[in-house]
Amino acid sequence: MLIFTIDDEPKARTLLQKTVREAVPEAEVLAFPGGNEAIEAMQVRGLQPAVIFTDIVMPGLDGLELAVRLKTAAPDAKLVFVTGYTDYAVYAYQLHASGYLIKPVSVARIREELDHMCAPPLPLPKDGTLHVRCFGHFEVFWQGEPLSFQRHKTKELLAFLIDRRGAYCSSEEIIAGLWEEEGDLKAAKHRLRNLASDLRQSLRATGQESVLLHRRNQFAIVPERIDSDYYRMLDGDMDAVNRFRGEYMAQYSWAELTKGDLYFRNSGLDLNK
């Protein structure tokens, strides 16, 4: 494993490299004084780090700008911000950082971050429960296998309702989420009815039709009938809490607000500070 550490302050850079080496003795750990030097090592020398631990506030190319450029230079690299400030946490989750550590960083915290990155998905029991994975990309499983839908938007409708945790959502609210640019409300409502029918049929095939609730122009789900990492995290399940790495229903833009809320719950940061 190749790991980059980046910090413009010499003492902090040396300490970060030393700490990472102690945490992962089998890895090659290279230290850089700034983002430009790290990018050059990737582009000129062809180095592709698996993980990058970087300070945020630096002259030249800072950690936030580096995060943007990394999408091209090293798209598979996991980025962990290491800083003395909590003020940049919101930017960290917006840039899909894999971690956010407050200085001074310990060997234990480095190991914890790396362990979470390598953690396999939770096993899915083949029982009579609908299992939903919200962290990362949204997926639905029945008897250990992905649940199929006739229409690709049907899964997104289910995701939208799961995100609302049992609250009834009006047709207009759902349409605004699933079709942001929709101008023909009547046509959109027709499409939504088709999605709801498809969702009901898919759930009926598993014997879980009662998960979906419907009253005039409103839809909801019964959270108690669904096993979800999202719901377990909200209930305080520490295994679910530890598996949240800043990604939530990643394929859906409307899920960003909930992702931000989960990020701050998990980081322990106080938004009022």
Which fold is adopted by the domain 119-273? Arc Repressor Mutant, subunit A (1.10.10)
Which of residues 265 and 121 earns the better pLDDT score?
265
Nearest C-alpha neighbor of 143 from the set 164, 161, 167, 127: 127
How confident is residue 17, by pLDDT bands cut at 50, 70 and 90? very high
Answer yes or no: is pLDDT of 267 > 60: no
Contact of 52 with 96, CB cutoff 8 Å: no
Residue 146 CA neighbour count, 13 Å, CB half: 6
Q: What is the mean pLDDT of residues 200-216?
A: 93
Under 8 Å between Cβ of 157 and 199: yes
Q: Which residue has the higher pLDDT, 92 or 54?
A: 54
Q: Where is pLDDT greater, at 79 or 66?
A: 79
Question: pLDDT value at position 199?
Answer: 96
Q: What is the pLDDT of residue 177?
A: 92
Nearest alpha carbon to residue 48 among 4, 107, 5, 6 = 4
DSSP bridge partners of 154: none
Radius of gyration for the alpha carbons in the chain, expressed in angstroms and rounded: 22
Task: Say yes or no to pLDDT of 244 above 70.
Answer: yes
**In this predicted model, what pLDDT tens digit does every residue of 33-52 receive, in sequence order?**
988 899 999 989 989 999 99
Say what the pLDDT of residue 115 is.
78
Judge whether residue 202 has pLDDT over 50: yes
Domain residue extents for the chain: 2-117, 119-273
User: For the chain, what is the mean pLDDT?
Assistant: 84
- What pLDDT, on a 0 to 100 scale, did the predictor assign at position 63? 67
pLDDT in tens, 105-152: 899 989 888 877 765 555 555 667 899 999 888 999 998 888 989 888
Rounded to whole angstroms, the Cα distance separating 138 from 208 reads 19
Beta-ladder partners of 29: 3
The residue type at 154 = T
The residue-averaged pLDDT of 177-190 equals 84
- Please state, in angstroms and rounded to a whole number, the distance separating the CA atoms of residues 162 and 167: 9
Higher pLDDT, 123 or 103: 103
Q: CATH says 2-117 is which class? A: alpha beta
Tokens of 206: 């598993």
Spatial distance between the Cα atoms of 190 and 156, rounded to a whole number of angstroms: 16
